[in-house]
Amino acid sequence: MLSTSGLIRSCDAVVFDCAGTLLRLDPSRETIFEDAAAELGIKLPSRSIARAYEMVDFALKIKSSQLSSNESKSRFYFDFNFGLCGALGIEKALERLHPLLVRRFTERRHWVAFADAAETLREIRRYAPVHALANWDEGLESVLAQAGLRDILRDVAASAALGAEKPARACFDAFLKRNALVPGRVVYVGNEYLADVVGARKAGLLPILLDRHDHLPAADCMRIRRLRDLISPNLER
């Protein structure tokens, strides 16, 4: 069985998702939510907030291409916060909490690279070009530059510029065409099973799931727990 390191040494390019794969929020969205609620005297367990985000993420997935105006963004985040409040049983707090959350996320939202991201990208780049392909708006290059990763990546492709979002095959096809890559020779690494594994596989790419919290131990694909596992000889399935 080919290891992740063996696969990377034999491919033509390695492409990475961004949020949750190369990048994380600092502070986390759960922390921002918890702190905002506490400002209103609402004490919530961190674990409950994390679970609420998992539930609402599944039901109301953000689509960057559909948030092209301030109005559409405002509507989406209101619906998202409505879902969070419902999942946490604090629906009556929505009227006060939603505008506060908008302000606090605007003030505190900051993307940083995972600790092993830059080192792993540089190591992989010794064998194959590294790229980023993510469901994101036009600000992706700036975010990656601020996180210290842009100079390591050959191409940075945001779904907003490609005209489609993962898991749609059109998103992957547009990226492959723009970089003159053959799908069966390209590895795609991401942390979401549907968008990153299913989407990449349908487009003919070779997917690797980054499962940091061991949520999908039985996933039918190559699976790693840390980015640096990509250059390790070990492989989880």
Tens of pLDDT along 28-58?
999 999 999 999 999 999 999 999 999 998 8
In whole angstroms, give the CA distance from residue 5 to residue 128.
Answer: 11
Chain CA centroid to CA 177, Å: 22
- pLDDT for residue 227: 97
Task: Provide the 8-state DSSP code for 183.
Answer: G
Is 237 a domain residue?
no
pLDDT in tens, 195-218: 999 999 999 999 999 999 998 999
In whole angstroms, give the CA distance from residue 206 to residue 195.
Answer: 13
Is 176 a domain residue?
yes
**Whether residues 197 and 127 fall in one domain:** yes
Is 181 a domain residue?
yes
In whole angstroms, give the CA distance from residue 144 to residue 153.
Answer: 9
Tokens of 155: 């191409």
**Whether residues 16 and 132 fall in one domain:** yes
**Whether residues 122 and 64 fall in one domain:** no
**Whether residues 116 and 194 fall in one domain:** yes
User: What is this structure's pTM?
Assistant: 0.89
pLDDT at 236 over 60: no
Neighbours of 184 (CB within 10 A): 10
Q: Is omega for the bond preceding 99 within 30 degrees of 0, making it cis?
A: no
In whole angstroms, give the CA distance from residue 197 to residue 208.
Answer: 7
pLDDT at 2 over 70: no
**Whether residues 85 and 180 fall in one domain:** no
- pLDDT for residue 4: 86
- pLDDT for residue 63: 60
pLDDT in tens, 52-107: 999 998 887 766 556 667 888 899 999 999 999 999 999 999 999 999 999 999 99
In this structure, what CATH number is given to the domain that contains residue 218? Answer: 3.40.50.1000
User: How many domains, in total, are found in the chain?
Assistant: 2
**Whether residues 85 and 150 fall in one domain:** no
**Whether residues 97 and 73 fall in one domain:** yes
pLDDT in tens, 125-170: 999 999 999 999 899 999 999 999 999 999 999 999 999 999 999 9
Task: Check residue 168 and give left, alpha or beta (phi > 0: left; psi -120 to 50: alpha).
Answer: beta
In whole angstroms, give the CA distance from residue 55 to residue 16.
Answer: 25
> Which of 50, 75, 108 finishes a domain?
108
Structural domain including 49 reads 29-108
**Whether residues 12 and 126 fall in one domain:** yes
**Whether residues 120 and 79 fall in one domain:** no
